[in-house]
Amino acid sequence: MADLFDYLDWRGDLTFEQAPFCKIDGIILAQVIYINYTGLVSPDFKSQIEIPRLWESLKSARDFTVRCDMGPMVSTHTPELLERISRSARFAGVKACAYSELFDRQKNEQFAAVSFVLPDKTCVIAFRGTDDTVIGWRENFNLGYMPEIPSQVQALDYVSEAYKALKTKLILAGHSKGGNLALHTAVFADPKIRKNISAVYDFDGPGFSSDFYQKPEFLEIKDRLYVIYPEQSIVGMIFHRPSHFEVIKSESFAVYQHDPFNWHVLGADFEKANDICRESKFFHKSLNHWIETMSIEEKEKFISSLFDVIKAAEYDRFSAIAKNGLSASARMIKKLGKMDKEMRDAIFNSIHELSDVVRAEIPLLRLLNKGN
């Protein structure tokens, strides 16, 4: 299997003038956005730092380890990826600017973005996906009943500011929830901005309602859209997906296929797979059927109740919940016991809707399942 590092070995010496920006470049920038760049990348669009200098600044930062501790849901290879692109001719002239990061418990919002300016002045805006935080996953679930989540609003504002400041062609990219933000922003951006978006890369991001894909704005952008799922996608199977997408080969299984470092690379593209696997199709069908049978009020009540249970664990990160499994699960089960039987059964039934493979690989579901 060839991966992102092999791609840099093969094509890292080729500039963007010699070989145009491609999907693999998109996922690389969508991955390195998971690192915390506060104080290293300017919050505005005027002050720009080249990738090699950014890596040196990050490496020498006193809190380097903390900045690169993104939880178990983000690969530990991510800092190494930034180092490797900093040493490549391909990315050496790329400049980073406008780092924005928000984390709001009141709004249930987790958002981060960076603008990467290519040598030809094209701006690649990378949106961070969901991290290890409970708030980040709560916002993901809120997609099920809210017409617009806070990070989607923030992403629209960010792109508007980017275009206003740079007046250039834009490429939008994101992994996981970042992919959802990239596509949502392309569809709902000002028409003038939308015309200047040359490509949108949605890497295994959760989808939208079925009518989203019928909007004239979506139809306008769809030929510039690249939606990519690993064979055993889970996150990408949440809600509806577009009719045209790519399925690629990946190592590992279940949630670990969500990790781009496990995706097969072939030259300047991903290695194609025949189709999404049977388990992912089942998950997609059963989850979305269940969601569609609920009213908006029922969805909101269910999601609020589910995260009330998770908050009872008294940890902000799922890695901490898993690490402190006994005490965390005891508090969550106690909270469940105080709920009415209907809601308690709904939470347990939703867990059992997932396949055995999925349940075994998601710590939260494994913990909750112990209480049934």
> What angle separates helix 78-86 from helix 4-11, to the nearest 10 degrees?
0
Q: List per-residue pLDDT tens for the chain, 372 residues long.
A: 899 999 999 999 999 999 999 999 999 999 999 999 999 999 999 999 999 999 999 999 999 999 998 877 789 999 999 999 999 999 999 999 999 999 887 888 899 999 999 999 999 999 999 877 888 888 878 888 888 999 999 999 999 999 999 999 999 999 999 999 999 999 999 999 999 999 999 999 999 988 999 999 999 999 999 999 999 888 888 888 999 999 999 998 777 789 999 999 999 999 999 999 887 887 777 777 777 788 888 888 888 888 888 888 888 877 788 788 888 888 988 888 888 888 877 777 666 654 443 444 444 444 445 444
Phi, psi of 172 (to 5 degrees): -110, 135
Predicted pLDDT at 73: 79
C-alpha 336/C-alpha 340 separation (Å) is: 8
C-alpha 183/C-alpha 173 separation (Å) is: 8
- Name the residue among 190, 300, 283, 161 with its Cα closest to residue 232: 283
DSSP class per residue in 64-115? HHHHT---TTS-TTHHHHHHHHHTSHHHHT-EEEEEEEEEETTTTEEEEEEE
Q: Where are the beta strands (DSSP E) in 257-363?
A: 265-266, 269-270
C-alpha 268/C-alpha 196 separation (Å) is: 24
84 contacts 5 by C-beta, under 8 angstroms: yes
Neighbours of 71 (CB within 10 A): 14
- Name the residue among 207, 264, 193 with its Cα closest to residue 235: 207
335 contacts 308 by C-beta, under 8 angstroms: yes
* 115 burial level (CB within 10 Å; 0-12, 13-18, 19+): buried
C-alpha 137/C-alpha 130 separation (Å) is: 7
Contacts of residue 36, Cβ cutoff 8 Å, sequence gap at least 6: 66, 67, 68, 101
Contacts of residue 107, Cβ cutoff 8 Å, sequence gap at least 6: 150
C-alpha 264/C-alpha 165 separation (Å) is: 37
280 contacts 233 by C-beta, under 8 angstroms: yes
Q: Where are the beta strands (DSSP E) in 152-295?
A: 170-175, 197-203, 225-230, 246-248, 265-266, 269-270
Residue type, 300: E
C-alpha 139/C-alpha 55 separation (Å) is: 30
Q: Give pTM, 2 decimals.
A: 0.89
C-alpha 43/C-alpha 165 separation (Å) is: 12
Q: What pLDDT digit, counting tens, does each position of 197-245 carry? A: 999 999 999 999 889 999 999 999 999 999 999 998 888 888 889 999 9
Contacts of residue 148, Cβ cutoff 8 Å, sequence gap at least 6: none
C-alpha 36/C-alpha 99 separation (Å) is: 9
Tokens (6 digits) for 86: 């900093």
Tokens (6 digits) for 5: 């590092």
